Structures are given as structure tokens and as C-alpha cells.
Amino acid sequence: KAGVTQTPRYLIKTRGQQVTLSCSPISGHRSVSWYQQTPGQGLQFLFEYFSETQRNKGNFPGRFSGRQFSNSRSEMNVSTLELGDSALYLCASSLALSGTVTDTQYFGPGTRLTVL
């Protein structure tokens, strides 16, 4: 099975712009989560989607949003980019058969976003 794929792998934007990142989960996985990784704050949870519904959200401003499509693919969007948004954005997918039990999350290679 193919792993989690994320596009693009690298992105350079300027302050004030917006960006959309894409994530394709492992085939059959229904839950997709997003994390931000920075040297200062480490790995932080952004949000999680299951069956096109956001079930959980981390402590990030409303500029960070996401969605999930019927095929479980997910996108996250960051509007009005700030310098501090420069980070590695990781997507993870899990089986979520029951919808409630915590499953093992499998991560993609990440999208490295640089904001100038």
C-alpha cells in the first residue's frame, strides 16, 4: 500500500498570502490529522477530520482551517500568512474503523512552508 502523500513538499510564500496544502491518506484510512512542527514549539496538533467532519481542533488561530473530502483526502489552508507560520506541516492518517478508538497514526513526509 502506498503511504501518506503530501503535496507540495516545499513551498515559499510571502507574508499576507494564503496557502493550501494537500494530503492523501493511506487507502482505506478514514481519519486525517494535521500537525505543525517548529524548532521552538515542537509538534503541535492542528485538527483532525473523520468522515468529512472536524472532530478535534488544537489551539491555533482561525487563519488555520481544513477540510476533508468524501474520498478522505484532506486539505489545510492558512490565510494571511505570518513569518511564524514557517514550519513543517505533517499530515497523518489512521484507520479509525470504530470512529472512536485511538488508532496508530501514519505520517506523511510533510510540507515545508517558508514564509518570507
Partner 1 sequence: AQKVTQAQTEISVVEKEDVTLDCVYETRDTTYYLFWYKQPPSGELVFLIRRNSFDEQNEISGRYSWNFQKSTSSFNFTITASQVVDSAVYFCALSEAGNFNKFYFGSGTKLNVKP
SS3 sequence, 29-43? CCEEEEEEEECCCEE
Instruction: From 15-23, 27-35, 60-68, 71-79, give the range in contact with partner 1 by CB under 8 A.
Output: 27-35
Q: Which is nearer to partner 1, 14 or 54 (CB)?
A: 54
Rounded to the nearest 5 degrees, what angle is found at the Cα of 13, between the Cα atoms of 79 and 35? 60
Q: Which of 59, 70, 98, 100 binds partner 1 (CB under 8 A)?
A: 100
Stretch near partner 1 under the rule CB under 8 A, chosen from 16-24, 45-53, 68-76, 77-85: 45-53
Considering only residues 58, 60, 73, 75, which one is a binding residue for partner 1 as defined by CB under 8 A? 58
CA distance linking residue 23 with residue 63, whole number of Å = 18
Q: Which of 21, 25, 64, 110 binds partner 1 (CB under 8 A)?
A: 110
> Residue 26 in contact with residue 3, Cβ under 8 Å?
yes
Residue among 93, 76, 94 at smallest CA distance from 85 = 76
107 binds partner 1 (CB under 8 A): yes
Spatial contact of 114 and 17, defined as CB atoms under 8 Å apart: no
Query: Which residues form the interface with partner 1 (CB under 8 A)?
Result: 31, 33, 35, 42-45, 48, 50, 55-56, 58, 88, 90, 92, 94, 96, 100-110, 112
